[in-house]
Amino acid sequence: MSLKRRLADQIAANGPITVAQYMIACLHDPDFGYYATRPALGAGGDFITAPLVSQMFGELLGVWAAASWELMGRPDEVRFVEMGPGDGTLMGDMLKTLRHAPGFLDAADVWLVETSAPLRALQAERLGDRVQWAASLEELPDGAPLILVANELLDCLPARQFVRTAIGWSEQVIGLDRDGELAFGLIPSAAAGLLPDARPGEVYEQSPAQAALGAALGARIAADGGAALLIDYGRAEPGFGDTLQALRRHQKVDPLDDPGTADLTIHADFPAVMGAAAREGCETAILTQCDFLARLGIGARAEALVRAAPEKSATIGRQLTRLIAGDEMGELFKVCVIHSPGWTPPPFDESEGE
């Protein structure tokens, strides 16, 4: 039995499934889901993320965490959390930097929010007993301010897709073709009246799960104080477009090909996430990854690394370009902050253009 066969049997019996249901099965099915069974990050795996491009990324997020804690008035107790921590590289680099931030690690209890058993095992190997795990935000004890980081988490939360046809909005679903193979199709949508106006052919993506995460973070931070940084590829303004993407060994593949064996993502919908957090009483802001890292001083950090190891100059230059260039990760990736009212975390406090 494969996930493809099982989904085809279910669809034959019960009818088509939404893209969101398909994403949940592909990523989290306990027997076949990508994150449940075979997550493979890094150069030898299926996809690469910013912390795996360069240690500079995690180091600067560590600087961000320490600076935010200072601005919050150095609370005695703080929950330092990473959601969706992958192979633990990012938390490892942040903790290395935070050892040089007087007082932070005495105040912080360190949590990883992770659903994947194989990735928890990798994180434990890398980070040892310095960290604790929770399966969801709700499992994290409340009552202390939060400093939270999540890189490329929003993009693997399930989303629905709607397609504007000549006669109105339809929902994109996964059904079966005449040969019994998985195929995309359209069904009339009860949500049609709630969707924005658009030209025929446009695709509208909606992720209740992303918005729910924004709301949960917003409610927690409004009550306990703190800041959450969400970093991902996605849109900073509401918009249209089909962004469902499957990656296997760094190649884009058909999202319906051999489900469960590729990473499957959809763009982050930052306006929806930020709107949900704001409705819970938080403030929000957004920068491109390039602006965020530049303002935190990635240029100076790269120069220092080159001074310490001149023979690595070309490699460090390539890593810097990958993280901040407009045609690489610099513009497509955005950094959004959700924070309690009354202060603004760095570097969102710097006015535009500085």
Ligand X SMILES: C[S@@+](CC[C@H](N)C(=O)[O-])C[C@H]1O[C@@H](n2cnc3c(N)ncnc32)[C@H](O)[C@@H]1O
Residue 54 CB, nearest approach to ligand X (Å): 12
Collapsing DSSP to helix, strand or coil, 274 comes out as helix
Q: Within 10 A of 135 (CB to CB), how many other CB atoms are there?
A: 11
- How far apart are alpha carbons 321 and 50 in whole angstroms? 11
- How far apart are alpha carbons 28 and 287 in whole angstroms? 30
**Interactions with ligand X, residue window 286-305 (CB under 6 A):** none
Q: Of 23, 98, 156, 227, which lies in the binding site for ligand X, with binding defined by CB under 6 A? A: 156
Residue 178 CB, nearest approach to ligand X (Å): 34
Q: Does 222 bind ligand X (CB under 6 A)?
A: no
Residue 42 CB, nearest approach to ligand X (Å): 9
Quick one: how far is CA 260 from the chain centroid? 19
Nearer to ligand X, 34 or 169 (CB): 34
Interacting stretch for ligand X, rule CB under 6 A, among 152-160, 176-184, 237-245, 313-321? Answer: 152-160
**Interactions with ligand X, residue window 28-47 (CB under 6 A):** 35, 41
Cα atoms in the Cβ-side hemisphere of radius 13 Å centred on 262? 20
CB 277 within 8 A of CB 215: yes
Q: Does 234 bind ligand X (CB under 6 A)?
A: no
Collapsing DSSP to helix, strand or coil, 295 comes out as helix
Q: Classify burial at 139, counting beta carbons within 10 Å of its beta carbon; exposed 0-12, middle 13-18, buried 19 or more.
A: exposed
**Interactions with ligand X, residue window 112-141 (CB under 6 A):** 113-116, 119
**Interactions with ligand X, residue window 245-274 (CB under 6 A):** none
Q: Does 88 bind ligand X (CB under 6 A)?
A: no
Residue 56 CB, nearest approach to ligand X (Å): 14
- DSSP state letter for 167: T
Question: Minimal CA–CA distance to 288: which of 344, 245, 346, 232?
Answer: 232
Q: Does 217 bind ligand X (CB under 6 A)?
A: no
Q: Of 18, 97, 151, 206, which lies in the binding site for ligand X, with binding defined by CB under 6 A? A: 151
Nearer to ligand X, 90 or 182 (CB): 90
Quick one: how far is CA 167 from the chain centroid? 35
Nearer to ligand X, 51 or 225 (CB): 51
- How far apart are alpha carbons 261 and 247 in whole angstroms? 9
Q: Does 83 bind ligand X (CB under 6 A)?
A: yes
- The site map against ligand X for 46-65 (x = CB under 6 A) is ---x-xx-------------
What is the size of the binding site for ligand X (CB under 6 A)?
19
Nearer to ligand X, 17 or 94 (CB): 94
Residues sharing a CB contact under 8 Å with residue 306, sequence separation 6 or more, in sequence order: 312, 313, 316, 317
The strand pairing partners of 204, in sequence order, are 162
Q: Within 10 A of 93 (CB to CB), how many other CB atoms are there?
A: 20
Q: Does 324 bind ligand X (CB under 6 A)?
A: no
Interface ranges with ligand X (CB under 6 A): 35, 41, 49, 51-52, 83-86, 90, 113-116, 119, 151-153, 156
